[in-house]
Protein backbone atom coordinates (compact mmCIF):
# COMPACT_ATOMS: atom_id res chain seq x y z
CA UNK A 1 0.00 0.00 0.00
CA UNK A 2 1.36 3.39 -0.99
CA UNK A 3 0.86 6.35 1.29
CA UNK A 4 1.95 9.96 1.31
CA UNK A 5 4.77 10.50 3.77
CA UNK A 6 6.79 13.49 4.78
CA UNK A 7 10.16 12.70 3.21
CA UNK A 8 13.02 12.00 5.56
CA UNK A 9 15.78 14.57 4.96
CA UNK A 10 18.20 11.95 3.66
CA UNK A 11 17.31 10.94 0.14
CA UNK A 12 18.68 7.60 -1.13
CA UNK A 13 17.73 6.52 -4.65
CA UNK A 14 19.01 3.88 -7.03
CA UNK A 15 17.85 1.96 -10.04
CA UNK A 16 18.70 -1.57 -11.01
CA UNK A 17 20.91 -1.90 -14.05
CA UNK A 18 19.08 -4.23 -16.47
CA UNK A 19 22.35 -5.34 -18.09
CA UNK A 20 24.18 -6.49 -14.95
CA UNK A 21 26.87 -9.06 -15.75
CA UNK A 22 26.46 -12.65 -14.62
CA UNK A 23 29.98 -12.94 -13.23
CA UNK A 24 31.60 -9.52 -12.81
CA UNK A 25 30.68 -9.59 -9.11
CA UNK A 26 33.32 -12.28 -8.65
CA UNK A 27 36.09 -9.72 -9.23
CA UNK A 28 34.49 -6.50 -8.00
CA UNK A 29 36.39 -6.82 -4.72
CA UNK A 30 39.58 -6.37 -6.74
CA UNK A 31 38.21 -3.55 -8.88
CA UNK A 32 37.10 -1.67 -5.77
CA UNK A 33 40.55 -1.51 -4.18
CA UNK A 34 41.33 2.00 -5.52
CA UNK A 35 38.04 3.29 -4.11
CA UNK A 36 38.59 1.64 -0.75
CA UNK A 37 42.02 3.26 -0.46
CA UNK A 38 40.58 6.69 -1.25
CA UNK A 39 37.62 6.14 1.08
CA UNK A 40 39.96 5.28 3.93
CA UNK A 41 41.39 8.79 3.78
CA UNK A 42 38.02 10.37 3.07
CA UNK A 43 36.55 8.80 6.19
CA UNK A 44 39.44 10.02 8.29
CA UNK A 45 38.71 13.50 6.93
CA UNK A 46 34.98 12.90 7.54
CA UNK A 47 35.64 12.31 11.24
CA UNK A 48 37.93 15.35 11.55
CA UNK A 49 35.40 17.55 9.75
CA UNK A 50 32.66 16.16 11.97
CA UNK A 51 34.52 17.20 15.11
CA UNK A 52 34.92 20.73 13.73
CA UNK A 53 31.23 20.77 12.79
CA UNK A 54 30.33 19.62 16.31
CA UNK A 55 31.82 22.80 17.74
CA UNK A 56 30.38 24.88 14.93
CA UNK A 57 26.88 23.67 15.83
CA UNK A 58 27.58 24.05 19.55
CA UNK A 59 28.51 27.73 19.24
CA UNK A 60 26.40 28.86 16.29
CA UNK A 61 23.60 26.32 15.86
CA UNK A 62 24.71 25.81 12.25
CA UNK A 63 26.70 23.16 10.43
CA UNK A 64 29.33 25.09 8.40
CA UNK A 65 28.10 24.78 4.83
CA UNK A 66 31.40 23.83 3.18
CA UNK A 67 32.00 21.13 5.79
CA UNK A 68 28.45 19.85 5.40
CA UNK A 69 28.84 19.57 1.63
CA UNK A 70 32.11 17.69 2.04
CA UNK A 71 30.66 15.13 4.44
CA UNK A 72 27.56 14.64 2.29
CA UNK A 73 29.98 14.01 -0.57
CA UNK A 74 31.77 11.32 1.43
CA UNK A 75 28.46 9.59 2.15
CA UNK A 76 27.51 9.91 -1.52
CA UNK A 77 30.82 8.44 -2.70
CA UNK A 78 30.50 5.61 -0.18
CA UNK A 79 26.97 4.83 -1.31
CA UNK A 80 27.98 4.60 -4.96
CA UNK A 81 30.81 2.22 -4.05
CA UNK A 82 28.49 0.13 -1.88
CA UNK A 83 25.87 0.02 -4.62
CA UNK A 84 28.40 -1.16 -7.21
CA UNK A 85 29.91 -3.54 -4.69
CA UNK A 86 28.66 -5.97 -2.12
CA UNK A 87 25.94 -3.92 -0.44
CA UNK A 88 23.73 -4.19 -3.53
CA UNK A 89 25.49 -5.32 -6.75
CA UNK A 90 22.95 -3.08 -8.44
CA UNK A 91 25.14 -1.92 -11.34
CA UNK A 92 28.27 -2.82 -13.25
CA UNK A 93 29.05 0.81 -14.03
CA UNK A 94 32.26 1.70 -12.21
CA UNK A 95 31.76 4.40 -9.55
CA UNK A 96 33.19 7.82 -10.37
CA UNK A 97 35.91 9.33 -8.21
CA UNK A 98 34.05 12.42 -7.08
CA UNK A 99 32.23 13.88 -4.09
CA UNK A 100 29.68 15.52 -6.38
CA UNK A 101 26.45 13.98 -7.52
CA UNK A 102 26.67 12.34 -10.95
CA UNK A 103 23.23 12.67 -12.56
CA UNK A 104 23.45 9.66 -14.86
CA UNK A 105 24.99 7.27 -12.31
CA UNK A 106 22.36 4.81 -11.02
CA UNK A 107 22.87 5.52 -7.31
CA UNK A 108 22.24 8.84 -5.59
CA UNK A 109 22.30 10.32 -2.12
CA UNK A 110 21.41 13.81 -1.03
CA UNK A 111 20.88 15.58 2.28
CA UNK A 112 19.28 19.05 2.17
CA UNK A 113 21.30 21.60 4.10
CA UNK A 114 19.71 22.37 7.52
CA UNK A 115 19.64 26.09 8.24
CA UNK A 116 19.51 25.47 12.01
CA UNK A 117 20.45 22.53 14.22
CA UNK A 118 19.92 21.82 17.90
CA UNK A 119 22.91 22.56 20.12
CA UNK A 120 21.82 20.08 22.75
CA UNK A 121 21.16 17.07 20.49
CA UNK A 122 24.76 16.92 19.33
CA UNK A 123 25.68 15.42 22.71
CA UNK A 124 23.14 12.60 22.62
CA UNK A 125 22.44 11.61 19.03
CA UNK A 126 24.83 8.66 19.22
CA UNK A 127 22.96 7.49 22.33
CA UNK A 128 19.48 8.05 20.89
CA UNK A 129 20.46 5.99 17.86
CA UNK A 130 21.25 2.86 19.90
CA UNK A 131 17.93 1.15 18.98
CA UNK A 132 18.86 1.69 15.33
CA UNK A 133 22.32 0.23 15.91
CA UNK A 134 20.71 -2.97 17.16
CA UNK A 135 18.58 -3.25 14.02
CA UNK A 136 21.47 -2.40 11.74
CA UNK A 137 23.75 -4.90 13.45
CA UNK A 138 21.47 -7.51 11.88
CA UNK A 139 21.01 -5.68 8.57
CA UNK A 140 24.57 -4.69 7.76
CA UNK A 141 26.68 -6.49 10.35
CA UNK A 142 28.94 -5.36 13.15
CA UNK A 143 30.87 -2.77 11.15
CA UNK A 144 28.18 -0.12 11.39
CA UNK A 145 27.69 -0.71 15.12
CA UNK A 146 31.41 -0.44 15.84
CA UNK A 147 31.76 2.62 13.64
CA UNK A 148 28.94 4.50 15.33
CA UNK A 149 30.14 3.58 18.81
CA UNK A 150 33.74 4.49 18.07
CA UNK A 151 32.68 7.88 16.77
CA UNK A 152 30.11 8.56 19.45
CA UNK A 153 31.03 12.23 19.63
CA UNK A 154 29.20 12.81 16.40
CA UNK A 155 30.13 11.04 13.23
CA UNK A 156 30.70 7.33 13.32
CA UNK A 157 29.82 5.26 10.33
CA UNK A 158 32.00 2.43 9.23
CA UNK A 159 32.83 2.59 5.53
CA UNK A 160 31.50 -0.93 5.10
CA UNK A 161 34.74 -2.66 4.29
CA UNK A 162 34.60 -4.70 7.51
CA UNK A 163 30.87 -5.06 7.96
CA UNK A 164 31.15 -8.84 7.94
CA UNK A 165 28.28 -11.24 7.41
CA UNK A 166 24.87 -9.68 7.61
CA UNK A 167 21.34 -9.94 6.25
CA UNK A 168 22.29 -7.58 3.44
CA UNK A 169 25.36 -9.70 2.70
CA UNK A 170 23.30 -12.90 2.61
CA UNK A 171 20.64 -11.44 0.31
CA UNK A 172 23.22 -9.91 -2.00
CA UNK A 173 24.95 -13.31 -2.17
CA UNK A 174 21.63 -14.88 -3.20
CA UNK A 175 21.22 -12.16 -5.82
CA UNK A 176 24.76 -12.81 -7.06
CA UNK A 177 24.05 -16.53 -7.47
CA UNK A 178 20.82 -15.69 -9.26
CA UNK A 179 22.77 -13.46 -11.64
CA UNK A 180 25.33 -16.21 -12.19
CA UNK A 181 22.83 -18.91 -13.06
CA UNK A 182 19.89 -17.00 -14.54
CA UNK A 183 21.30 -13.61 -15.55
CA UNK A 184 18.59 -11.89 -13.51
CA UNK A 185 18.50 -9.95 -10.24
CA UNK A 186 15.15 -10.72 -8.52
CA UNK A 187 13.30 -7.41 -8.14
CA UNK A 188 11.78 -8.20 -4.69
CA UNK A 189 15.27 -9.00 -3.43
CA UNK A 190 16.61 -5.73 -4.81
CA UNK A 191 13.77 -3.77 -3.19
CA UNK A 192 14.46 -5.35 0.21
CA UNK A 193 18.22 -4.76 -0.01
CA UNK A 194 17.57 -1.13 -0.93
CA UNK A 195 15.32 -0.73 2.11
CA UNK A 196 18.04 -1.92 4.46
CA UNK A 197 20.75 0.16 2.80
CA UNK A 198 18.51 3.23 2.96
CA UNK A 199 17.90 2.66 6.67
CA UNK A 200 21.65 2.48 7.32
CA UNK A 201 22.37 5.67 5.40
CA UNK A 202 19.65 7.59 7.23
CA UNK A 203 21.14 6.60 10.57
CA UNK A 204 24.62 7.47 9.31
CA UNK A 205 23.54 11.00 8.42
CA UNK A 206 21.68 11.44 11.71
CA UNK A 207 24.64 10.40 13.84
CA UNK A 208 26.88 12.59 11.67
CA UNK A 209 24.78 15.58 12.86
CA UNK A 210 23.39 16.34 9.40
CA UNK A 211 19.80 16.40 10.57
CA UNK A 212 17.90 16.65 13.85
CA UNK A 213 15.01 14.55 12.62
CA UNK A 214 15.12 11.10 14.19
CA UNK A 215 15.32 8.28 11.62
CA UNK A 216 12.07 6.35 11.22
CA UNK A 217 11.85 2.68 12.17
CA UNK A 218 10.58 1.90 8.72
CA UNK A 219 11.84 -0.31 5.93
CA UNK A 220 11.17 1.81 2.84
CA UNK A 221 11.55 -0.66 0.02
CA UNK A 222 12.48 -0.05 -3.58
CA UNK A 223 14.84 2.09 -5.57
CA UNK A 224 12.92 5.36 -5.23
CA UNK A 225 12.96 6.91 -1.78
CA UNK A 226 9.32 7.24 -0.63
CA UNK A 227 8.15 10.79 -0.18
CA UNK A 228 10.50 12.16 -2.86
CA UNK A 229 9.73 12.65 -6.52
CA UNK A 230 12.18 12.97 -9.42
CA UNK A 231 12.55 16.54 -10.64
CA UNK A 232 12.92 15.55 -14.28
CA UNK A 233 11.72 12.79 -16.65
CA UNK A 234 13.35 9.39 -16.23
CA UNK A 235 16.62 9.25 -18.19
CA UNK A 236 17.30 6.33 -20.53
CA UNK A 237 19.97 3.77 -19.76
CA UNK A 238 22.82 3.31 -22.25
CA UNK A 239 20.75 0.56 -23.86
CA UNK A 240 17.86 2.99 -24.39
CA UNK A 241 15.63 1.39 -21.79
CA UNK A 242 14.38 3.72 -19.04
CA UNK A 243 16.63 2.90 -16.12
CA UNK A 244 15.20 4.72 -13.17
CA UNK A 245 14.64 8.09 -11.51
CA UNK A 246 17.23 10.82 -11.91
CA UNK A 247 18.49 12.59 -8.83
CA UNK A 248 17.74 16.25 -9.44
CA UNK A 249 17.35 18.54 -6.46
CA UNK A 250 15.30 17.02 -3.63
CA UNK A 251 11.61 17.56 -4.34
CA UNK A 252 9.23 16.44 -1.58
CA UNK A 253 5.89 14.97 -2.58
CA UNK A 254 2.95 16.94 -1.20
Whether residue 83 contacts residue 200, with contact meaning beta carbons closer than 8 Å, is answered with no
Question: Quick one: pLDDT at residue 33?
Answer: 97
Note the pLDDT tens digit of each residue in 44-99: 999 999 999 999 999 999 999 999 999 999 999 999 999 999 999 999 999 999 99
Q: Where along the chain do its domains lie? A: 11-207
Q: What is the pLDDT of residue 19?
A: 87
Computed on alpha carbons and rounded to an integer, the radius of gyration of the chain in Å comes to 17
- Cα–Cα distance for residue pair 24/122, rounded to 1 Å: 42
17 burial via Cβ count (<10 Å: 0-12, 13-18, 19+): buried
% pLDDT > 90, the chain: 72
> For the whole model, what pTM was predicted?
0.81
Which of 129, 91, 125 lies closest to 107, judged by CA? Answer: 91
Residue 199 has pLDDT above 70, yes or no: yes
Average pLDDT, integer, range 141-153:
42
CA dist list (Å): 212 to 79, 119, 198: 21, 10, 17
Distance (Å, rounded) from C-alpha 104 to C-alpha 185? 21
Which residue intervals of the chain are DSSP H helices?
28-31, 33-60, 65-84, 125-128, 130-139, 142-150, 167-182, 187-207
Task: Give the burial string for 39-63 (b: 16+ CB within 10 Å, else e).
Answer: beebbeebbebbeebbebbeeeeeb
Amino acid sequence: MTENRTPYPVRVDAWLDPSTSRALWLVKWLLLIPHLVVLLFLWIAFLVVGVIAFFGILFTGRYPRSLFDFNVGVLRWSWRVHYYGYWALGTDRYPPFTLEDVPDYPAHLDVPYPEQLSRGLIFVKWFLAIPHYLVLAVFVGGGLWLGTRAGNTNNGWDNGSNAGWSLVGLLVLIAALSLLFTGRYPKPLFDFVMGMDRWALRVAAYTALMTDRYPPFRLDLGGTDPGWAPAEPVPPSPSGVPAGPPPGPPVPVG
